[in-house]
Amino acid sequence: MPVGTAVRLAAAWGVVVLFLTVGRGWLADPIATPTAIACFVLLFATILYAAFGVVKEADHLAHALGEPYGTLILTLSIVSIEVILIAAVLLGPGETATIARDSIFAVMMIILNLVMGLCLVVGGLRYGEQEYNSQGAIAYLSMIVLLAGVALALPNVLSPGNGGFLPVQAVGVAVLTIALYAAFLAMQMRGYRRFFVQPEFGSLSIPVSVPVERGEPDGVDAPKIALDMRAIVLRSIILIALILPIVLLAHDMAILIDMGVQRAGAPLAVGGVLIAIIVFTPESITAVKAALANEMQRAINLCLGAFVSTVGLTVPAVLTIGLLTGKTVTLGLGGLDLVLLAITLAISALTFLGHRTSPVQGLVHLALFAIYGLLLFVP
């Protein structure tokens, strides 16, 4: 095991032990503001440090397994962390009915506008127009339009003023969402894997489906180098060992986020933004690095795939928690956010109409994120 990885594991688990022992006294009511700030900074730094380790291990697995498997491992790992944090806040003592909605919407604005905009701009500045597989991008966008529309817009029509689902509706939406997401993953990893692979440089044509031997997915060449299974198993164990501290620290982090938003008098949506920042900063950096390496398809897989996974996993999870605990779960967005949702979906669809990226579209995405940031604090 590399020294850096060992240090990361030791630091993360050391903070876990600290908060499971003496930290319980620090977080006992009433929590002094200086103590709360110090605990928040320590937890924030630890969770972010561990999340960067998760990304690093997933990145190694990505290179070993190839696309889209590696990106899927990274995305599912990160989104699992988000679901854990949202569940911890939702089960907390504060008014947290909207935390899932706020987190999902914040992820959407950060990933689809800020990060995707940065990828388009920095990639364009270095390489000009970059090629990608439009069939994969369109598949992602179709999932995003459906899942985001059902989760964030439909509740306002079904339950005006409440923004939630009836119990029977919640069960149906949760089951259908997870079933659709599972089917999408199955097709992405098997028969339609070619949609999510970087096209050959200089070719605008979509790779032709050509069956290969030994049951490999059509249109994808068999691996040229045998996989090092021992290394893959070790990386997988380390990845799980880095996710577990985040799980164990999520409850304490949830307490501090809820308390901080209340004491600062900040909008409740800020809690969701903080969760999105904590969870998706490492993956966002990975996406920008992919664009700088002229791997635009991987950047698209990371950004669009991250939001598909966010809705596909978070919505069923929070609806299930609401049904089992009786907690109110509000998913429907307010009028202002619905407008930003519609604009984001429209711009994203226009961005990926062709086969090459446009830096101009990147600037449009960044401008929309700036508007979102402004209206978050000055609605």
Question: Which residue's entry shows tokens 């999932």?
Answer: 143
Q: Is residue 146 predicted with pLDDT exceeding 70?
A: yes
Into how many domains does the chain fold? 1
Please, are residues 137 and 304 in contact by the beta-carbon 8 Å criterion?
Answer: yes
**Which letter does DSSP use for residue 213 in this model?**
G
pTM of the model: 0.79
Averaging pLDDT over each range in 80-89, 208-217, 306-315, which range is the top one? Answer: 306-315
Please, are residues 101 and 267 in contact by the beta-carbon 8 Å criterion?
Answer: no
Core vs surface per residue 92-113: b (16+ CB within 10 A) or e? bebebbbbbbbbbbbbbbbbbb
Question: Which residue's entry shows tokens 């009511």?
Answer: 29
pLDDT at residue 160, rounded to an integer: 67
Domain that holds residue 98: 3-377
Please, are residues 110 and 278 in contact by the beta-carbon 8 Å criterion?
Answer: no
Q: What angle do CA 280, 371, 266 make, to 5 degrees?
A: 70
pLDDT at residue 29, rounded to an integer: 67
Check residues 287 and 93 and name the one with the higher pLDDT. Answer: 287
Share of the chain above pLDDT 90, in %: 16
Please, are residues 121 and 355 in contact by the beta-carbon 8 Å criterion?
Answer: no
**Residues 320-335, mean pLDDT to the nearest whole number:** 84
Averaging pLDDT over each range in 27-31, 45-49, 247-251, 327-331, which range is the top one? Answer: 45-49
pLDDT-derived band at 216 (thresholds 50, 70, 90) equals very low
- CB-CB neighbours of 66 under 10 Å: 16
CATH number for the domain spanning 279: value is: 1.20.1420.30
pLDDT at residue 253, rounded to an integer: 79
